[in-house]
Structures are given as structure tokens and as C-alpha cells.
Amino acid sequence: MSFADILEVVGGMGRFQFIYVLLLVFPVILTTSHHLLQNFVAVVPGHRCRIPPVANSSEGGLEAEEEKDFLRVFIPLDGKRRPEECQLYSTPQWHLLRGNGTPGNGSGYGTRACTDGWVFDHSKVKATIVSEWDLVCDRKPLKHMAQSIYMAGLMIGNILLGRLSDKYGRRTFLLLSTFLLAISGTCGAFSPSFPLFCLWRFLCGVAVSGVTVNTYSFATEWIPNQTRTFLMTFLNYSYTFGQLVLVGQAYAIQNWRWLQFAASVPYFIIFLYAWWIPESARWLILNDKEDMALKQLRRVAKLNGKEAEGQKLTTEILKSSMGKELSRSKDSYTILDLFRTPIIFKITCCTMLVWFATGFAYYGMAIDLQGFGVDIYLIQVIFGAVDVPAMLVGFFTMSYVGRRFTQATFLILAGSIMLANTFIPKELQVLRTSFAAWGKGCLAAAYTCCFLHTSELYPTVLRQTGLGLVGMMARIGSMMAPIVRLVGDFVPSLPLVIYGGIAILAGVAATFLPETLNAPLPDTIQEVESRSAEVPNSPPLGKGPIGTAAREKGGAKKVKEVTMDEIPLEETQTSLIRQNV
């Protein structure tokens, strides 16, 4: 009897699981706001240099009389006959004011960088971190640094909280992460300086990582195998819905401080109701806490209308039914165990590359919406909407073809679309935006498969550690994505070439991963090694149409008939438990 059998005994996908999933959805929706907050809190408004004081007169007083004419004296024009954003004339060109010259781009007169700050156009957004702390021109990299620091927090959170959750439990760190996110996000909204803002964003990243890792682990370990694909897709659709929620918030709240506050304060509510969420019974059993696991399982059985069946479960049944897993999980595991055995080593290397590329390319496309030359609210809606059909296709391929095929196909397709986009002329802005949207949709589908496939590949004793490691790789990729965007200032097409090339390389690596369609979750390293040794890199012949078709063609091995005397004690106990319950 496996843990999947125990879940069926206490109700399978019952009332508890439905409530449980709904409670996990809200943190996922709101994590979107923090991941993509940069698109709205760091909008670069139209700007120009602030004109130096002249003749003891304020700039405002002179501009009130003849603003356009006065600007010609101090600020050269760019190629579109608009005031330059980052340059002043070295000396005032008063002859332009008297009509003795034609304003130009400054090439005929000396120019210098802005020295007295900038004037920003607040007609579209009231306040952003860019306008508040002058993150433009030579300070432009600081804007991207803020997002990279947030992603660094996600990376550190994956490393620390993934391992600690394996050791001390999922529920503990879900509570700590939601509370930390509520506090750090709220404090970030009232930061008096840019360095403090970056510090709070870093802590937000750490907390978001803890929320994400534990939410997906909870969903994996409390949900029956047959509904796991649907659930993971549903959670990722919640992330997509969160993008649309963020657009609504950003459009209604055009002040970065209140937008940051609105994205953070709901986590106080999540922290309060998260106390109701029970610890993973699977984790409790494998950590010699059968009494607590039994209590949680009976609670779940009661909520699912299976109280009588739950009362028949005992700690002895739990121990005997998972005796093999318990005997193999006594050792203490570290991150090094992800590299010790051949199959786990291959899984770890391939998933690290897959997650790095997915995070790298996804955030390369999803961040810096202003670069598309389209209204940022509209492009965010398009980017969110395109995820719906993309992930729906991903759901069907994951369910009926396999996780490995889905992962590889969507990564290669996304990379190919990004490379193709480099050949589309800039004048065809609609076509370029459409390609970018579909590429981002393919990456969203690949992300959906990442969480599900990786959760099924790693055993329970290393699941959080493995998710933490590959999540760290995704964050390294997402940290590097904004930096690569800066290369576009010199070679406009180079960022897309880099994003697309890495995505295609990762798609090829994904083909070397084992298939996990319809396979039960492994609990130990030995299970992963033995399963892959039996049928290397082949999809398990489960209950789905692929397995049925394979068996009809003779693809499955013939099963030897056995008598009752040949059935191991564990299987006999499982049968008796099912009959009694």
C-alpha cells in the first residue's frame, strides 16, 4: 500500500482537497504581482533634463512665459525633433531664442550630461521609482538592478527554504514566508530611499520563493495522482489570472507606493488562514511522525465524509504500508545527494538547464514591456491572455502524450519564435508583438510543465531540495534576463538571439529526462534509480490512453500470475485494509 492508496481511503479528491486547492490559489495569484511589479512600478515616463537656474530666476518662472522657446536654448533635439532626454547644451544657445539659428541635435554645439536632475511627464503615470529616484540615462542600469535583486532573493529563498522545508516541514515555512512577504512588501511601499527599496524587494523575493515552493509541494503531496496534472495546470492558470489582476491594479493605482502596498497587504490575510492548512501527511510519515500524520489523515477523512474509514487507520498500518519507504528514508539527505547516483545526476543536470532557460527566456520577454512600443497595460493583457490557449494545449499534451514531450516541444518552439522575431522589420510592430506574445505563451506552458514534471521526478526525501536547486537556476536565469536586455542598446536583436538559443538548447536537454505520465510519486532515491533502470526513458504504461494503446500493441511486459502465498506481506496487508475500509 502506497501513500496514494491511503489518500484514496480518506476520500481521494474530496471536499478537503477542493477547499485546500482554493486556499492555495490566492497566494499563487498574488505572487504574479510581485514577479511582474517591475513592469509598472519602474515605468520610465517621458523626461528631459532639468534646466539650470539662470539669472536668479527659477526654471518654472521662465517656462511659464515661453516654455518651448526657452527649452531650445538649453536642450538639443533628438531625431524625432523632441528634447533630448539625457543631454544639455554645454552653454546656453541664446541666439536660438532670438531666431538667429535653427535648433539641432547638438552636434554643432557642445553638449553635456544632465547635472540638475530631470523633469518627468506624469500625464500617464503619477509616480514610479524611476521618476522618484531619477533612474534614467547613466542611472538606467539601477532600474534593472532592482529587478535582479528581487530575483536574487528568489534564488536565495529557493536554496534555503527548499532545504529547510524538507527538514522541518512544508507548513512551517509556508506560514513564515507569507508573513515575511506581508511585512517586507508593506515596508517596501514606504521606502525612503532606493537602497532600502532594493533591500525590501530582496526580502520579498525570498518570501515569494518560500510561498511558491511550498504551495506546489503541498499541491503535489495532498492530491491524488490522477488529478495532479489538472491541478498543476489550474494553479498555473491562477498565475495567468494574476497577470490580469495586476493590470487592473496598476491601471487603477498609478502610484508605485500604493501599488506595492496593494500587492503585499493581502498576505496578512493569507497568513491567518494558512494556519488551517495541515502539514503534508506524506512528509510526516517519512519523518517518523506517524501520530501527527494519522491525526491529519483522520481530519481529512472527516471533511471528505469518510470518518469511519479514517478511524480504521492506525500508526501500525501507516508504518507497514510505507515500511519500505521508511526504511530507505532514515538517512539524512543533502543537496549533494542530487548528484551521487547516475539517474538522479542526469535528472538534476537536465532540470537545472531546463529551469534556467525557462526563467531566463520567460522574464526576458515578460519584463520591460515598454520596449515593445505598445501601451503597457494592453501588452500585459495580451501577454496574460495568450497564456490561456498555450497552457490549455500544454495540459492536453501533458495528460495524453507526456511531460517530457511537452517540456521539450514548448521550449524549442518558444526559442524558434524568438529567433524568427529577429528577422521581422521594426516597422511591422504588430507582427513583432504577436510573435513575442506567442513565444511568451509557449514559455508559460513550459513553466507549467516544469513544476509538475520536476515534482514527479524527484523522490519525497529530496523533492523540496531538488525544487529548491532547480528553482535557484530559474532565478539565476531571471536575474540575468534584465542584464541581457541592456545589450540591446548596442545590438537590438542580440537579446532575442540569446534568449531563443538558450531555450532551444534546454528543449533538447529535456528529451533526456524520464517520462512520469501516470507514474506514482517516488519516495526514495532507490525508487527513482530502479524505475529508470527497468524502463529507461520510457513513459510508464499507466491508465491513460497512451498506456492502453501500448498494452494493446503488446508493448507492456506480461505479468506473471502468482498465488496468494507468493504475494508479499505488504501487499496482503494493503488488500485487507481496503476490504476493511
Q: Let me know if residue 531 belongs to a domain.
A: no
What pLDDT is attached to residue 109?
67
Strand partners, 119: 48
Mean pLDDT of all residues belonging to the chain? 78
Whether pLDDT at 387 is above 80: yes
User: Does an H or E element contain 25, and which?
Assistant: helix 15-35
Same domain for 237 and 311, yes or no, is yes
pLDDT band at 347 (very low <50, low <70, confident <90, very high): very high
Residue carrying the nine cell digits 517540456: 407
> How many domains does the chain fold into?
3
Say if residue 70 is in the same domain as residue 185. Answer: no
Q: Which of 148-157, 346-355, 419-428, 531-540 shows the lowest mean pLDDT across its residues? A: 531-540
Are 314 and 408 in the same domain? Answer: yes
- Residue that terminates a domain, selected from 452, 486, 510: 510
- Which CATH number belongs to the domain containing residue 431 in this structure? 1.20.1250.20
**Least confident range of 117-126, 319-328, 329-338:** 319-328
- Give residue 410's pLDDT band: very low, low, confident or very high (50, 70, 90): very high
Q: Which three cell numbers stand for residue 12?
A: 481521494
Q: Does residue 520 lie in a domain region?
A: no
Whether 471 and 394 map to the same domain: the answer is yes
**Residues 256 and 215 reside in one and the same domain:** yes
Facing residues of 47 across strands?
Answer: 120
pLDDT tens-digit series, residues 517-562: 888 878 788 888 887 665 444 444 444 433 434 434 444 333 333 3
125 lies in some domain: no
Q: What domain range is 101 assigned to?
A: 50-120
Please report where in the chains the cell 526559442 appears, as a residue. Answer: 415
Are the CB atoms for 518 and 4 separated by under 8 Å? Answer: no
pLDDT digits (tens, 9 = 90+) for 279-290: 877 778 777 777
Q: What is the pLDDT of residues 474-522, one digit of tens each?
A: 878 888 888 888 787 778 788 889 999 999 999 999 999 999 888 887 8
CB atoms under 10 Å from CB of 218, counted, come to 22
- Asked if the structure places residue 552 within a domain, the reply is yes
C-alpha cell at 380: 500585459
Check whether residue 264 and residue 338 sit in a common domain. Answer: yes
| Boundary of a domain, candidates 120, 145, 178 | 120
What average pLDDT score do residues 63-72 get? 59
The answer on 447 and 566 residing in a single domain is no
d(CA 76, CA 94): 13
Q: Are residues 190 and 88 in the same domain?
A: no
Write down which residue in 492, 510, 528 finishes a domain.
Answer: 510
In a domain, 526, yes or no: no
Question: What pLDDT was estimated at residue 568?
Answer: 38
Query: Does position 301 have pLDDT exceeding 60, yes or no?
Result: yes
Residues 228 and 115 both lie in one domain: no
Residue 565 within any structural domain of the chain = yes
Tell how many helices (H) and how many strands (E) occur in the chain. 26, 4
* % of the chain exceeding 90 in pLDDT: 19
Residue 203: band (very low, low, confident or very high) from pLDDT cuts 50, 70, 90: very high
Least-confidence region, from 125-129, 202-206, 413-417: 125-129
Per-residue pLDDT tens digits for 412-441 = 999 999 999 888 887 787 888 888 888 888
Question: What pLDDT, in 10s, does the model give residues 311-330?
Answer: 777 777 776 666 655 555 55
Q: Are residues 317 and 406 in the same domain?
A: yes
CA–CA gap between residue 108 and residue 513 (Å, rounded): 62
SS3 441: helix
Q: How far apart are CA 67 and CA 69, in angstroms?
A: 6
Contact 213, 355 (CB under 8 A): no
- Flag whether pLDDT at 206 surpasses 60: yes
The reply to whether 186 falls in a domain is yes
Burial tier of 292 (Cβ tally within 10 Å: 0-12, 13-18, 19+): middle
pLDDT at 326: 58
Per-residue pLDDT of 455-480, as tens digits, reads: 889 987 788 788 778 877 887 888 88
Same domain, 432 and 572: no
Predicted local distance difference test score (pLDDT) of residue 541: 40
Return the exposure string of 519-548: e unless at least 16 CB atoms fall within 10 Å of the residue's CB, then b: bbbbbbbbbbbebbeeeeeebbbbebebbe
Residue whose grid cell is 539650470: 52
Are 176 and 196 in a shared domain?
Answer: yes
**Dihedral of the alpha carbons of 243, 246, 251, 256, in degrees to the nearest 10:** -130
Please tell me the predicted confidence (pLDDT) of residue 207: 92
User: Helix, strand, coil proportions of the chain in percent (round to 5)?
Assistant: 70, 5, 25
Give dist(CA 209, CA 460) in Å, integer. Answer: 19
